[in-house]
A and B are shown apart, each in its own frame.
Chain A
Amino acid sequence: MRDVKTVTSNVSAVEMMRVEMLTGNVAAAWAARLADVDYIPAYPITPQTEIIETLAKWIGEGVMKAKLVQLESEHSMLTAAGTASLTGARVFTATSSQGLFYGFEMLYNISGWRAPLVLVNVSRGVAAPVTLEPDHNDVLAARDSGFLQFHAETCQDVLDLVLLAYRVSEDRRVRLPSIVNMDGFYLSFTREPVHLPSQETVEEFLPPYIPTLPFRASRPVVKGASVLGGHIYTYFKHNIHESMRRAIEVFEEASKHYAELTGRVHEPVEGFKLEDAEYVLVMSNSFTTMGKRAVLRLRERGVPAGLVKIVMYRPFPSAQLAELLKNRKAVAVLDQNISLGMGGIMYQEVAGALYHQRNRPEKLMSVIGGLGGKYISLEEFEYVFNVLQHPEGRDPSTPLFLFRKDELEGVRKALGLAGLGGG
C-alpha cells in the first residue's frame, strides 16, 4: 500500500497488532476485509468513494475474496445489498448523505427483511444548499428505520465498530442491519494510527453468518410478503423493536469479548472525566475529540467538567445514559444536526431518556453546532461550559447556536458579494 507506514506495535495490547496510518475510509475497508465479507454492492459518492475504491483494488489484486458490483444508484445498491444478505452473503456497503436519502425506502425494507448487513455512512450535510462537509442530518434521518446505529469518534472506532456491528447484527437475538457512521473529511480523509487485529482474532470474534431460510433450490421460500391488517403489521414492527432493544445487551456482550481479544473497550455510551463532574456535555462523532480537549482544559482551571459520548444511537441506550447523567448540575447536548422547526434531534432523545429518572440533572441545555462541517473551536466548547455554569438570563427552551463573530463576518461578506445585504 502506497504511503502507508507499517510498524509493529509494542503497546501493551492483548495481542501483537499491526498499526497503520489509515484514513477512516480505509479503516472501514479494512474492517470489511477482515470480516471476510462476500458481497459489496457499491455506488460512488463523496466522501465515501475511497472505501469502495480500496475494496475494489483489493479484490482486483486477489488479496480479498468477495464480489464488488457497482450498481446504478444507491436505491438499487441497497436493494441488492438486502437481497444478497437474505441469500446468505455477508454484505458490506457504504454511502453518504444524498445517497442514503436516495435509497431511503430500502432501509426500512432491509430491516423488515431482517437482513443483517453493515452499511457505513460517511456523514455529509444534506442539500440544499449542496455541500460536502459533515453533519448528522443524513444519518439521523435513518434513526427510525430499524438499522442499529454506531457513531465513530476515531478511525480506530470505525474499524472496531464495523466488526462489532457484524457480530451484533448477525446474532440471532438481533438479526437486524447496522449503520456505522463516521464524519466526512474529519475522519474519512484524516489519517490516524489504527490497530489492525489479525485475521485469526477476527475469525475468533466473528462466527460465520448463518442466514435464516436463504434462497435455495431445495427449499422454496417467500420473503417480503405483504400483510393485510394492522394487527399483523404491528406484530412484525413490534418484533423488530424488541430485537432492537435486545441489541444493547448483545452489544455489551460482544464488546466484552472484543476487549478480551484486542484490549479496546467500546460501550453504548462512554463517559469522559465523569467522576465528580457537575457540568457535562453530551455529544457524538469526531468532534468529541475536541470536546474532550476542552474538558481537560477546563479541568486544569478547576471546572468540574465532563463529557458523555453516545456511541450507540439505535437502539438508544436510555438507561445507560441516564445512569451517567444522574445528579449532574447541568448538562448540554451538542447536536451536529437540526430538525428544522424544532431544534437538536439528540437533545430531544436525551431529554426523553431523562424524564423518568429520579435524580436527573437540574438543567438540560440544547446546543447546535458543526452544521455542514462548520468547525467547533475550543473556545466554543468552553463557551458552552460557561453558559452551563452561568445560565442566568438564558431562555432554556431555545437551542444555543454556535456561531463565531468571524464566521458571521464571512457570511456578511459572501452576502455582499452576492449583491445582498448591502455589503
Chain B
Amino acid sequence: MSETRFKTLRDVPLEEYLAPGNPLCAGCGATPVLRMFLKALEGRAVFVNAAGCFTLLHVYPYTPFKSSWMYTAFASAPAGAQGIRDALDILIEKGKIQPEEDIKVVCFTGDGAAYDIGLQSTSGAIERGLDFYYLVYDNEAYSNTGFQKSGATPYAASTATTLPTKLQREGHTGSKKDLFEIWRSHKPPYVATIAPSHIVDMLRKIESASKYRGPKLFISFTPCPTGWYHDTSESIRISKLAVECGVWPLKEAIYGEVKHTYTPRVLKPVEEYLKTQGRYKHLFHPQRQEHVIKAIQENIYQYWRRVAETEKLDIIIPSV
C-alpha cells in the first residue's frame, strides 16, 4: 500500500452518495462504511442486497442513494451480482451497450446472509472468479428480526436466542465462524477486514482491492446500538476499542497471503471492550463470570501470539 491517495482523513472524497436521513437506526456502524464505499467507488456501482437491516434503506418510493441498488433475496445476493456482471459483460461484448455504461457490482449484506444462508452462493461466486466486491456489515447477529444469534455471534454474547439463564450462564456457547478464513481458503485476489473507526485503512483497502479482477471481499465490524445495547454515540469508540483490544484484527489477504494492516502496540484488556455493551452485561452482573472473561481473553491472546510469530510483529501480549 505504498502509493495511495488516502493518507489521512483529509483525503476522504467530499462527494456524497448517501443522503442523510434514512430509516435505519441512529448510530448504526454500517452506515459510515457504506458511505465510504460509495465514495471510494464514486457512486458508479450497483449494490446487490440480501435480506437484512439495509433492505429497508429503500422503502418505496424513497431512496437516500445516488447509486444503483438491487434487492435480491436472503440467500443469493452473490448470484444476483453474478447476473448483473455477466449481463453487462455479454452486452458490452455483443456491442449492445457502450463500455462507458459499465458499473461495478457490490454485494452488500449482513452477517446472516454472509455467514449462514448465503455462504453457498458466495462460495460459488468466488469459485467462479466473479469480478465483484462483497461488503458484509457484521453486527454478529440477525438484528433485523430482533437480534437472534447467527454464525457470526461470538462466544458469550447474549442474543434473543442465546439469553443467559441460570442453566446457561454465559449466553451463547458456540463461537464465531471465521469467515475471513473461509473466504481466504477459496484464494480470491482480495479479502480484508475493516472497521468504521479506521476510515483511512478502509479506503486504502478498497483502493488496493480495485486493482484486482475477481472477488474482492470485505468484512466490516459493525457496532449495533440496537442489538448490542450501547449508546448510539458510542459506536465509533467501541469500534476503536475492538481494534485496540485485538477483538477485531484489521488485515488483508492478497491471493491468500495474510498481512495485518494495523497492529496495536499493547493489547488492551478485552474487558474494556466487553463492558461497553449490554450484550455482555451478564459477564459482570450480578456476578463476575471470571472463567468466561478469561476464556475470551485467552482466545484473543492466542490469536495475536500466532500472528506476531508468523508476521514478525512487535506487539506486547500480556500473559494471563
Chain A positions near chain B (C-beta within 8 angstroms): 38-39, 41, 65-67, 69, 71-73, 75-77, 79-89, 91, 105-106, 109, 215-218, 220-228, 232
Interface pairs (5), CB distance under 8 Å:
A79-B82, A80-B83, A82-B80, A109-B73, A225-B60
A contact face: mostly helix, strand, loop, or mixed = mixed
Whether A220 pairs with B68 at a CB distance below 8 angstroms is yes
Rounded to whole angstroms, the CA-CA distance of A241 and B229 in the bound complex is 45
Rounded to whole angstroms, the CA-CA distance of A85 and B123 in the bound complex is 23
Rounded to whole angstroms, the CA-CA distance of A148 and B128 in the bound complex is 31
- A101 CB to closest chain B CB (Å) equals 14
Contacts of B65 in A (CB 8 A): 220, 222
Whether B96 pairs with A72 at a CB distance below 8 angstroms is no
Contacts of B81 in A (CB 8 A): 83
- Given A38-B90, A84-B87, A220-B66, A215-B46 contact (CB < 8 Å): yes
Whether B82 pairs with A80 at a CB distance below 8 angstroms is yes
- Given A67-B89, A76-B124, A84-B84, A106-B60 contact (CB < 8 Å): no
Q: Give the one of B44, B75, B87 with max A CB within 10 A.
A: B87
Whether B58 pairs with A87 at a CB distance below 8 angstroms is no
Whether B63 pairs with A222 at a CB distance below 8 angstroms is yes
Q: Of A66, A75, A226, which one neighbours B56 at CB under 8 angstroms?
A: A226
Whether A226 pairs with B58 at a CB distance below 8 angstroms is yes
Rounded to whole angstroms, the CA-CA distance of A38 and B83 in the bound complex is 11
Contacts of A85 in B (CB 8 A): 83, 87
Rounded to whole angstroms, the CA-CA distance of A39 and B86 in the bound complex is 8
Chain B, interface size category, equals 35 or more
5 shortest A-B CB distances, which residue pairs? A72-B124, A76-B79, A224-B71, A83-B83, A80-B83
* B178 within 8 A of partner (CB): no
Closest chain A residue to B46 by CB distance?
A: A215
Contacts of A106 in B (CB 8 A): 73, 76
Which of B100-108, B147-155, B240-248, B265-273 lies at the binding interface? B100-108
* B91 within 8 A of partner (CB): yes
- B131 CB to closest chain A CB (Å) equals 13
* B55 within 8 A of partner (CB): yes
Rounded to whole angstroms, the CA-CA distance of A217 and B94 in the bound complex is 18
Whether A105 pairs with B71 at a CB distance below 8 angstroms is no
Rounded to whole angstroms, the CA-CA distance of A88 and B59 in the bound complex is 24
Rounded to whole angstroms, the CA-CA distance of A332 and B55 in the bound complex is 49
Whether A227 pairs with B87 at a CB distance below 8 angstroms is no
* B69 within 8 A of partner (CB): yes
Rounded to whole angstroms, the CA-CA distance of A217 and B41 in the bound complex is 12
Contacts of A225 in B (CB 8 A): 58-61, 63, 69, 71
Closest chain A residue to B68 by CB distance?
A: A220
Contacts of B100 in A (CB 8 A): 217-218
